[in-house]
Amino acid sequence: MVLISLTASHRELDLDALERLTSGSTSVGRTVVQSCRPVQGAVVISTCNRFELYLDVEAPLDGDSVRHATRHVAELVAESSGVTPEVAAASFTVRTGSQVPGHLFSVASGLDSMVVGEREIAGQVKRALAEARQDETTSKTLELLFQTASRTSKLVGHGTALGGTGRSLVALGLDLAGEALRPYPAARAVIIGTGAYAGASVAALRARGCTDVRVYSGSGRAADFAASHEVVAIGTGPEALVEALADADLVVSCSGARQRRHAEAGAEVSIEYVLDAAAVARARERAAARVVDEPEPDALVILDLALHRDVDPQAADVEGVLLYDLSTLKANAPATAVEVVHQARALVDRAAVRFEENRLGRAADAAVVALLDAAEEEVARQVEEAAARLTVELAPEGPTEEDLEAVARGARRRVHADLHDRIVEVRAAALAAARRAEAAVVAGAEDTLRTARADAARSSA
């Protein structure tokens, strides 16, 4: 088996390109397992600033299965996202073999996040594995990989200063919004969406003293979310949302429910936002009409935390509205102390090495078992020879059971005297051979990808 990961994130792409690439890719994991025979398992991580696909591929040493899987995935992503296969192939960073665990462990620990050290990603990694289980696309190797990633994330959180910083996209957004809002205990907030970021937003608002929190969901899940989080549900329908916005100081939109409607070939794509500029304008007009003693209403701050933008960018042109999206947050993400990052990376690197040794250790274990079996055969041979000599020497009575037990102990002691050193040598040699074999597969796959990208670049030139 060979592990492959394909990554598209804010580090490799601008957010607009990432949004286009991932607009329809959430079902790719299930599709690739069903349609690509060498792929034994797939797990997809899809968040507000990354899309990653982890594959467990049954690969012979010539690497054909790995090359086929990577090509096939690029085609599927292209088909589901509405981009060309060339764009999809060029957009992903592909990691294979021993590169994969270290990358995933870094992701789960928040070291690859837009806000370094953010803790929300750990929950997203766990949910990715849970969703793969539901879709029946995971595998034994991927189960172990993702469970180890979650343990490594906890280790980094507890063992470094990253765990106590409380960094997250939600916290960063609320800090930026707070500079333009009335104090949070007096602020009125509306959350659009009922997912993980909505829950994190409720917790972060409460931590800042905000108690007037309402939630809206176009899918009708607001009531259940409100009951479980002790907030107020807004009625369904666009007008209910407009009415709530007229009384709000802050909007946190994190539903990711924006729709793209693809017209016939050659026509432009029609986009439906969860919150469009016209709705924001109507809400501001109602807010202005309700102001009696003030010349104008307070500013409305909107945080759009969805990768597939919930909020029409033209809402920023409405008078009295401040719109912060992921690009704004990325530009304002704080730096992290170099020493803390080094400590976290050291923990991640050690975890990745241990994982790889365990994963590749199956061949080494087989070699050690063979060595132990050979040692037992040698012990049996020596005991048999010694028993034969004693039979002659102690004739006619022959050796007693005590004599034979002493012979066996002596033979086992002699054979096992240097066995530990030999086990270490055999295991190291087997691990090295497994790494060389996998490296050959990986190199073949990477050569194919480079060739494909070069061909795509020439054809599009």
Q: Residues 152-182: pLDDT tens digits?
A: 999 998 888 776 555 678 888 899 999 989 9
Is 48 considered catalytic here?
yes
**Multiple choice CATH, 169-332, 3.30.300.130, 3.40.50.970, 3.40.50.720, 3.40.50.11540:** 3.40.50.720
CB count within 10 Å of CB 188 equals 17
Q: What is the pLDDT of residue 158?
A: 86
* 263 contacts: CB under 8 Å, gap ≥ 6: 269, 270
Residues 365-394, mean pLDDT to the nearest whole number: 83
CB distance 222 to 262 below 8 Å: no
Q: Which two tokens stand for residue 205?
A: 């608002």
CB distance 5 to 94 below 8 Å: yes
Q: What is the pLDDT of residue 136?
A: 92
In total, the chain counts a number of residues equal to 461
Q: Tell whether 197 is in a known binding site.
A: yes
Highest mean pLDDT among 243-252, 271-280, 330-339: 243-252
Q: Tell whether 324 is in a known binding site.
A: no
Selecting among 36, 48, 210, 254, the annotated active-site residue is: 48
Map out the domains of the chain as residue ranges.
2-166, 169-332, 362-441
Confidence (pTM): 0.68
Residues 14-38, mean pLDDT to the nearest whole number: 74
Q: Tell whether 120 is in a known binding site.
A: yes
Ranking 181-185, 242-246, 367-371 by mean pLDDT, the lowest is: 367-371
Q: What is the pLDDT of residue 450?
A: 62
User: Cα(135)–Cα(443) distance, rounded to whole angstroms?
Assistant: 31
pLDDT at 347 over 90: yes
pLDDT at 183 over 50: yes
* 195 contacts: CB under 8 Å, gap ≥ 6: 254, 255, 256
Residues 393-413, mean pLDDT to the nearest whole number: 83
pLDDT at 264 over 50: no
2-166 with 169-332: one CATH topology? Answer: no
Strand runs labelled E in 238-290: 250-253, 259-261, 270-272
Output DSSP code: residue 38: T
Q: Tell whether 246 is in a known binding site.
A: no
Strand runs labelled E in 61-211: 93-96, 188-192
Q: What is the pLDDT of residue 432?
A: 76
pLDDT at 263 over 50: no
* 309 contacts: CB under 8 Å, gap ≥ 6: 19, 258, 273, 325
- 2-166 CATH: 3.30.460.30
User: Cα(268)–Cα(364) distance, rounded to whole angstroms?
Assistant: 57
Q: What is the pLDDT of residue 188?
A: 95
pLDDT digits (tens, 9 = 90+) for 268-308: 445 678 899 999 999 999 988 887 666 667 889 999 988 77
Tell me the backbone φ, ψ of residue 2, rounded to 5 degrees: -130, 135
Q: Tell whether 198 is in a known binding site.
A: yes
Q: Tell whether 386 is in a known binding site.
A: no
User: Cα(22)–Cα(72) distance, rounded to whole angstroms?
Assistant: 16
CA angle, 39 then 43 then 45, to 5°: 140
Q: Tell whether 339 is in a known binding site.
A: no
